[in-house]
Amino acid sequence: MLLLLLSIIVLHVAVLVLLFVSTIVSQWLVGHEYATDLWQNCSASTGNVRHCFLTSANEWLQSVQATMILSVIFSVLSLFLFFCQLFTLTKGGRFYITGIFQILAGLCVMSAASIFTVRHPEWHLNSDYSYGFAYILAWVAFPLALLSGVVYVILRKRE
């Protein structure tokens, strides 16, 4: 039972790290000497000098930012609730609240990555761009968060 709890916690922390990295790192869309994320656009000019500026205030980009932040908040809250329920839940009880918040985190990251996929203008205008690793990490975090949430819902507390 201890090994199961440890593996569930490791999975949850892995999802949380993926969500943090994909939200913060400037690699959602990359091109030749160009990288962009949810917060800023960076381009390299002469030498190794990088010039970064804040992204424009598009409504769709703000919704991507908000849903990624919500996914991180839901995942952190889910981990906190798991530890709270671990010590307060009665024997035989299920971790429903923890699972629901983790599933919400997965759905939020899926929504953010989907909106970014459909609405990013540089991707449609120029084929020199490709998706970066932070974007891919967001898509990897989606099924792992859902899996973690389903495991929490199925899991029963034992002594």
Confirm whether 50 is domain-assigned.
no
Categorize the per-residue pLDDT at 53 as very low, low, confident or very high, splitting at 50, 70 and 90: low
Amino acid identity, position 96? Y
Backbone angles phi, psi at 32, to 5 degrees: -65, 110
Confirm whether 77 is domain-assigned.
yes
Alpha-carbon gap, residue 136 to 10, rounded angstroms: 20
CATH number of the domain at 120, please. Answer: 1.20.140.150
Between 62 and 130, residue with greater pLDDT: 62
**What pLDDT, in 10s, does the model give residues 89-118?**
788 788 899 999 999 999 999 999 898 888
Between 42 and 119, residue with greater pLDDT: 119
Between 127 and 77, residue with greater pLDDT: 77
Confirm whether 34 is domain-assigned.
no
Confirm whether 20 is domain-assigned.
yes
Alpha-carbon gap, residue 105 to 48, rounded angstroms: 37
Confirm whether 51 is domain-assigned.
no
- Based on the structure, what is the number of domains in the chain? 1
Report pLDDT for 122: 56
Confirm whether 87 is domain-assigned.
yes
- How much is the pTM? 0.83
For residue 75, the enclosing domain spans 2-27+58-154
Confirm whether 8 is domain-assigned.
yes
Alpha-carbon gap, residue 79 to 44, rounded angstroms: 39
Confirm whether 127 is domain-assigned.
yes
